[in-house]
Structure 1
Amino acid sequence: MTKSRLNFNDIKIDKVPTVYPSLEEMMPPNNIDQFINNPEIYNLGMKYGMIKIAAPQGFRQALVNNLENKETDTNFKIKIREQVLNELELSNRSNKLFDKQLEAFDKISGVEHDFNIRTKTDDNGSEISLYDLYVKIMNTYNSQDVDDCGRFVKKPTVLGKRSINKINAEDQQNTQKKRRSSRIKNISNHSTNPSVEAYDNNGKNSDCDQSEWLVPDPKTCRFLQMPLKHGKVQPSSHALKFWKSIGSNYAEVYLTYQKHLERYITALHKYEGRKPWSSKETFKSNGISILHHISEDPVKDEPPIEETTEMVEDMCKICQRGKKLYQCEYCLETYHKSCIPYLSGKKGKLCDNCFLGNFEYGFQELEKKVSIKEFKSMCKDNVDDFDEVNDLLNIEKQFWNIVYGDERVKTYYGADVHNDTKNYISGFENQPSESIRNSFLNLMNLPNDEHTLLPLLTSITGISLPWCYFGAKFSVFGVHLEDHFTYSVNYQFSGHPKIWYCIKISDSDKFHEYIKQKYPDFIRRQKDILHQLTMTISPYDIDLHERIGIKFFKACQKPYEYIITFPKCWHFGFNLGFNHNEAVNFILPNWIPYAIEADNVYRRDGRKNVFDIYKLIQKNIVVNNNISYSEKLFEHVKRVIENIQLSVEILITEKLVDKYTPEKLDLSPYSNSYLVNEVSCDSCKKICSFAMVLVFKDYQLHDNKKTLNLNQILQYSQKVNDKSQDHDYENLDNFISNHSDNEHKALYLYCVGCYVKNHSRFKNYLTTEIVYMDDELNRSDVFVKDELYGLPVSLEPKHEVL
């Protein structure tokens, strides 16, 4: 429903504090750990989520931008993203995506499509879109307020958010599992993997986040019936209750539903294929956004296309194989039916991605890379003569009204520009001043600072090398947390200001919960949306403040100023014109608890790790001589080891054997290879720490399991292709998304957490094997090893720095 969704008059956003260090405070022997953990700095950071640092005059005078003389250098190129501003706000994007789905459905149905339908719900100007109406129907039908027939019922007695009927059903199921040992039952019920907790939801009215969403049948669903008197027939009380809840103009809303939405929901109800919101089935995304499809205009008076078994000969978009393909009439891509099922209509076939909606979205990238000077020439209408005190709020109003509006405004962002070629990495390279060269706030020094934990990681761009960002007017960096909730530091070299917003760290979980409740349909389709940096939300959003009262802060960053974000701080913003910024992440010892929390969040959201936090902890223990500190760290490792030991007990029970010894795979030859980070779980996407569970589909491969090396395992599980050594690391994620869940897998790869939680679902347990991944860290003398498996189970009473 739409009214004015922004309030700039009553919602006040305070600015984050600015710190003014001296040049000496930014130089050795001072270091980043001392600087951040200074009580004044640390308390400000934890209170606001981020702080601004204004470099002293001596620093500004001595600093030379290494990239300034490379504006026309062809060796430094910028990859440009095109951003459509009103597609970045989730309400707008959801409506646009759903409208495209309806257009695709109407196309194969032979019906002329009406775009962007909105209906007034009352006399006050409130409106409802077709997507909002669709979500309300789905939410109502899948709530505890109605039964299977769509009749409103009295709520059942609830204990701890679960009905007595559900508890009784669970008790009955539990009586059938008495053969399982109590230890297995207790630990598996407390698995830390939320992403797989809902496989057994059978009830329509389950409250679980991952419960199955069912689609009502408009013909029989009582609350979807006509809320008007028809002849002598009075309207259903259930229909009146539902439609009146939308607004006083409910009759017109119903007629809009009947004309534009009823046919689609009926087809959705009858569709028997996999659905993107299903928790029991794996929906295969084609990886492309329906917003970027260029479909052909329907030809009027064209004769209907008869249903045929004849297939197009081309290449399948998903598996890259030919034979027996069909072409989607909307996206015009070709698929195997087994890869992407379809819906048939009068005018042809519609792939399930276009019919059901995958809600994929990404910025379009321009084909040509440009020099800094060329990009600068593209940046028009910069906000010049900007006065922060007098102009900031007016600029914010202009920007957010575009983002929340209907006008389609494009801008460009040269984001995530990274280069590992010497002299082309950063503006901080080649500094003539010794002070700048040695400063811990030189972003080239920070990743290798011995007072941080980053030197324990191999080189990861953006984590251990700076990234360059080139902004244009109103270009956006989306709402996000840093990878693994790390610290980040951003420095502006030149150009127009960058406006930052952040959310108070203590409100971080509230914000995620708000997005999940506000956009349930979106989260079910794209549960890692908040990790994608493709959405934004205004801190002046009325609904956000009225629902949960989240506290926002803002900052205006100008040249020679740093922004430091603290762990688990949501942040986002926009640029006022062309500018050049650089950023890098860093991690300090006090970050470890946030890292463990981030690991669990990644599992919940199906987000792939950037690095293995447990291996980083292990390395930290090996080089640390503080026994008390190391023991606290090892408690995190112990929980993973216990899950591995439990998985062995489970497999012994499943295989009906007295003893089982896991296979051992030596990872030492891969210590500097990206392949180690590709050992990720098919279910939760987490990097497998210390061990992995392999479920073989190919029996011959299972018989030869002892001869498999890491590269072969990753090939057979479709993590990498058979030319992985020539494969660019940043392209691997694209390969995985298209190939990790198709019928050509020879084996499936899981982390032990997912196996412990879901082992009862594995039908082929006879070809299930646990593989312990050995390496030099595990063999370190710092750890006491398990005699049977060689796993690190505790620390030696005393250990020295190695």
Structure 2
Amino acid sequence: MECIPTLYPSVEEFANPIEYLSEQKIKRLGHIYGMIKLVPPPGFRPPFSINTSDFKFNVRVQKLSELNISNRSRLFFMKQINNFNRTKRGKSCSIKRLTEPYFFTGEGQKIYFYDLFIEIAKSGNGHSSGQGDQNQLPRRGKRTRSGSPDTSSPFSLLDLNEVVNDSSLWKRISRTLHTPIDELQHAFKNYISNYYAFISKQVKNGDSNLFSRLLYQDKYPKSLLSDDEKSLSESDDSEDDEGCVICHRSNNPTKIILCDSCDRPFHISCLSTPLTSVSKGDWICNNCIIGNGYYGFREESHEYTLSEFRSRCNSKEKELTSDVNTGERLSIEKLEEKFWYFVDNMEDSITVKYGADVNGTSPGEMTGFPTAEYVPSNLDEEQKYEHSKYYNHPMNLINLPNAKGSLLPMFDRRISGMTIPWMYVGSTFSTFCWHLEDQYTLSANYQHEGAPKIWYSIPEYSCDKFQKLMRDVAPDLFEKQPDLMHQLVTLISPYDRRFKEAKIKCFKAVQNPNEYIITFPKCYHAGFNSGYNFNEAVNFTLDSWVPYGIEAISDYQNTGKQCVFDMFELMMNILNSYLAGNSKFQESLVRTCYSELLNALNSKIKMINHISGVIPNKSYSNRVLECRSKQFSLPSPKKEKDEQNLISESAALLEESREEEEYDVYCNKCGTICFLAFVAHYKNPHRLKKRRLLSYTPKKLNELADGRELEILCLKDYHELVEKTYLEENECQAEDESNEPFENDELVYLRNSQEVEDILRVASKKIDHFRI
């Protein structure tokens, strides 16, 4: 595999990293390879400056084989079938518990039940012809308003009888799995068919997301593979949360039933198919039978010191990284082979520990770089002087997000993990899974000490192929976890046959101490550690990143991942700063921010006009959420004010916004940050508890909108809700039908639209006279 380029910037270039990385030739390398390696100029070697006596961290426990997307899906499927069969015991004595996720053919070939299930499921998407076109439309699917099938769901199931009697389907699967038809049909009939019939019936009349109405949104989800272990995202407080998983209430007089798999409580009246009584046998919830697809790393409660963790790593490193015959350390290539063997092999894997995403709060614990806040007490005067040379250097990762040319300072807020570095304490074969950086920003990773870290990069032009491959391997998993690739828990080897057949471009890097890895926008990356090491990473931006940040908004909406920061807020701040007389911005950046904000504003106002007819309460149209009414916008112009006054006032307004604590309002459905306005949709208008929403802080709104009483919806999702409701209920009714489902909904502005228009109007005139 080809390695990424290694660059050696001069002292001057290294001292101005944003400008250096913005050079056309460097950006081109970033586009081609996704990553580059930077070796600092001679003489740049910052002393490792962690307070080793006080610095402590927790570790994540990683079972390598479960990170493999195929392995995890196969294990999930076996557990789901066993849970389903538990509910049938006593009704049929022939049901047996699966102990392995596979069966053997007559020739001794291992075939996984999940692989057979997925091949059958693909037939529901038009694959039974044998053509294998992943883009074909499903045979059964919801129709859109235009009459064309809705293709948002790539996963669909035929009826059981169709599967059993479709000879062309079995011929195709036989060719794909290289197994005789009769053996596949036998395995399906004896191990899968009953479960398949149940799932097929459940999703037969489902919406575009087949599992959305069947699965419960659990605040503290538990992985089917965790057994009795507490998952990473489960907090100690969850032990005290005894409320029903669905309604979240504990004071409901309805009888509670516990799932015999996950032990979660449910009111029998809250279930999708309410129970009238509790049976004596096992009862398993939908999340455990259908599977919610959740997977998280277990985190140890023990806090390690660096010396303790290093000692533990050294005791195992020789065993894992040495040649069994010579005792010599394995080459990087041999280490790669061994690592991917453990990831791919379900029967022979290992568990490793990783101190990932460590973010200390005290001096000496926030970064491994020298800072003025922490100077080791054992340094002499000469060492203290050497230490101080790195306090303000822009490639000190504490400083990089705010370096000259970076846009993140325009937020005037600290964003943990982005503008504040996170640290990573690795052990042999501890891994970071495939992922993109938050909102497609750039990242810088520096290694302070230890063994090499091996990286893999998939540049942006191969992103679509990579994402398609992952969805093709486990389509049901992506139905249940749309943001799976943002969760950093999934691997597939770049040396995998399927990876190569998909023609995905991938490159490799080996990072050593005192070296930086720079990832560019929309570069998927993953890798592992070859022993104990200590790394540190932070995010930053270039002007050329802005289009990627905008693209991330729509991508995140499609997967339900929440943005870390409001991209529109950033662009508003850039325009405000530009109007206040800041001349540091390039013309292309200002023009991009202007055009994107103009498009966004026009789009939002158009949607508001479309939906305003169904919200009778017009009083909210002219009022703005009180705590944000002055943020990020110019004052409304008065007749006696000219445009120059507006420009000067933007400077004072920008300074005022820096003093206020900022929060964002998130859409309950897609997770996007609401820009300009949102709609509070009351789910049950007949049992209405009205709220004074205009007096609420965004934080309180997010806490209030838990989905039981009301939903906070972005304009796009509310517009779709209105259209869907009328399409389903009113197509055959008169147009003057009542707006009852929406009559109590409230449109709440986050910003005054007229003030945003004023900013854009003034910015437009100034941009027209732009001089570099």
- Identify whether the pair has TM-score above 0.5, normalized to the shorter chain: yes
What corresponds to 2:71 in structure 1? 92
In structure 2, C-alpha distance between the alignment counterparts of 1:256 and 1:17, rounded to whole Å: 50
In the alignment, structure 1 residue 137 sits paired with structure 2 residue 120: yes
- Once the two structures are TM-superposed, the CA of residue 796 in structure 1 deviates from its matched residue by 5.1
What corresponds to 1:563 in structure 2? 517
SS at match of 2:304: coil
Q: Which amino acid aligns with 1:108?
A: T
2:307 to 342, 348, 373: 373
Q: TM (normalized to structure 2)?
A: 0.79
What corresponds to 2:296 in structure 1? 362
1:710 to 696, 700, 709: 696
The 5 Å alignment of 1:384-783 reads 391-406=331-346, 407-430=348-371, 432=384, 433=386, 434-457=388-411, 458-546=413-501, 548-624=502-578, 625=583, 629-654=589-614, 661-668=621-628, 677-697=663-683, 708-711=694-697, 715=700, 719-720=702-703, 740-741=706-707, 743=708, 745=709, 747-762=710-725, 764-774=741-751
What corresponds to 1:52 in structure 2? 37
What corresponds to 1:736 in structure 2? none
In the alignment, structure 1 residue 326 sits paired with structure 2 residue 257: yes
In the alignment, structure 1 residue 382 sits paired with structure 2 residue 317: yes
SS at match of 1:774: coil
- Once the two structures are TM-superposed, the CA of residue 455 in structure 1 deviates from its matched residue by 0.8
In the alignment, structure 1 residue 290 sits paired with structure 2 residue 224: yes
In the alignment, structure 1 residue 105 sits paired with structure 2 residue 89: no
Q: TM (normalized to structure 1)?
A: 0.76
SS at match of 2:332: helix
In structure 2, C-alpha distance between the alignment counterparts of 1:685 and 1:550, rounded to whole Å: 30
What corresponds to 1:14 in structure 2? 2
- Once the two structures are TM-superposed, the CA of residue 660 in structure 1 deviates from its matched residue by 8.3
2:210 to 278, 281, 295: 278
Change (3 A) 1:570 1:117: closer
Change (3 A) 1:557 1:695: same
What corresponds to 1:114 in structure 2? 98
What corresponds to 2:736 in structure 1? none
Q: Could you report, residue by residue, the CA deviation over 1:435-492 in whole angstroms, capped at 9, with x for unpaired residues?
A: 4223211111112223211111211111111101000110000100000000000000
What corresponds to 1:8 in structure 2? none
Q: Which amino acid aligns with 1:130?
A: F
In structure 1, C-alpha distance between the alignment counterparts of 2:312 and 2:206, rounded to whole Å: 44
SS at match of 2:766: coil
- Once the two structures are TM-superposed, the CA of residue 703 in structure 1 deviates from its matched residue by 8.9
CA contact (8 A) 1:26 1:439 kept: no
What corresponds to 1:193 in structure 2? none
In structure 1, C-alpha distance between the alignment counterparts of 2:442 and 2:12, rounded to whole Å: 23
Q: Could you report, residue by residue, the CA deviation over 1:701-727 in whole angstroms, capped at 9, with x for unpaired residues?
A: 98965563233x754x6x326xxxxxx
Q: Could you report, residue by residue, the CA deviation over 1:749-796 in whole angstroms, capped at 9, with x for unpaired residues?
A: 111122233322356222222211138xx897xx643xxxxx856635
- Once the two structures are TM-superposed, the CA of residue 89 in structure 1 deviates from its matched residue by 0.6
In structure 2, C-alpha distance between the alignment counterparts of 1:293 and 1:163, rounded to whole Å: 35
What corresponds to 2:185 in structure 1? 254
Q: Could you report, residue by residue, the CA deviation over 1:166-206 in whole angstroms, capped at 9, with x for unpaired residues?
A: 99x76xx56xxxxxxxxxxxxxxxxxxxxxxxxx98xxxx4
The 5 Å alignment of 1:164-243 reads 206=149, 208-210=151-153, 213-214=156-157, 216=159, 218=160, 221-225=161-165, 237=167, 241=171
In structure 2, C-alpha distance between the alignment counterparts of 1:271 and 1:768, rounded to whole Å: 32
In structure 1, C-alpha distance between the alignment counterparts of 2:242 and 2:561, rounded to whole Å: 33
Q: Could you report, residue by residue, the CA deviation over 1:118-172 in whole angstroms, capped at 9, with x for unpaired residues?
A: 235685x6542111111222221x22367xxxxx7999xx9x96799999x76xx
- Once the two structures are TM-superposed, the CA of residue 241 in structure 1 deviates from its matched residue by 4.0
Q: Which amino acid aligns with 1:766?
A: E
In the alignment, structure 1 residue 795 sits paired with structure 2 residue 750: no
In structure 2, C-alpha distance between the alignment counterparts of 1:99 and 1:164, rounded to whole Å: 27
CA contact (8 A) 1:18 1:54 kept: yes
Change (3 A) 1:131 1:409: same
Q: Could you report, residue by residue, the CA deviation over 1:517-558 in whole angstroms, capped at 9, with x for unpaired residues?
A: 222111111111100000112110111111x21111111111
Change (3 A) 1:662 1:92: farther
Q: Which amino acid aligns with 2:766?
A: K
SS at match of 1:464: coil
Q: Could you report, residue by residue, the CA deviation over 1:8-52 in whole angstroms, capped at 9, with x for unpaired residues?
A: xxxxx111111122344323xxx2221102334222222211111
2:244 to 304, 312, 316: 316
Q: Which amino acid aligns with 2:447?
A: Q
SS at match of 1:748: strand
In structure 1, C-alpha distance between the alignment counterparts of 2:689 and 2:587, rounded to whole Å: 45
Q: Which amino acid aligns with 1:425?
A: M
What corresponds to 2:53 in structure 1? 72
CA contact (8 A) 1:486 1:566 kept: yes
Change (3 A) 1:701 1:435: farther
- Once the two structures are TM-superposed, the CA of residue 117 in structure 1 deviates from its matched residue by 4.1
Q: Which amino acid aligns with 1:53?
A: L
In structure 2, C-alpha distance between the alignment counterparts of 1:702 and 1:239, rounded to whole Å: 52
CA contact (8 A) 1:641 1:793 kept: no
SS at match of 1:43: helix
In structure 1, C-alpha distance between the alignment counterparts of 2:49 and 2:216, rounded to whole Å: 45
CA contact (8 A) 2:543 2:589 kept: no
SS at match of 2:750: strand
CA contact (8 A) 1:428 1:442 kept: yes
Change (3 A) 1:240 1:502: closer
In structure 2, C-alpha distance between the alignment counterparts of 1:667 and 1:450, rounded to whole Å: 31
What corresponds to 1:196 in structure 2? none
In structure 1, C-alpha distance between the alignment counterparts of 2:269 and 2:688, rounded to whole Å: 25
| Aligned length in residues | 675
Q: Which amino acid aligns with 2:366?
A: I
Consecutive unaligned residues in structure 1, runs of 5 or more: 1-12, 147-151, 175-199, 226-235, 296-312, 722-738, 786-790
SS at match of 1:469: strand
SS at match of 2:561: coil
SS at match of 2:62: strand
Q: Which amino acid aligns with 1:209?
A: S
CA contact (8 A) 1:85 1:411 kept: yes
Change (3 A) 1:587 1:337: farther
In structure 2, C-alpha distance between the alignment counterparts of 1:117 and 1:584, rounded to whole Å: 40
In structure 2, C-alpha distance between the alignment counterparts of 1:720 and 1:366, rounded to whole Å: 29
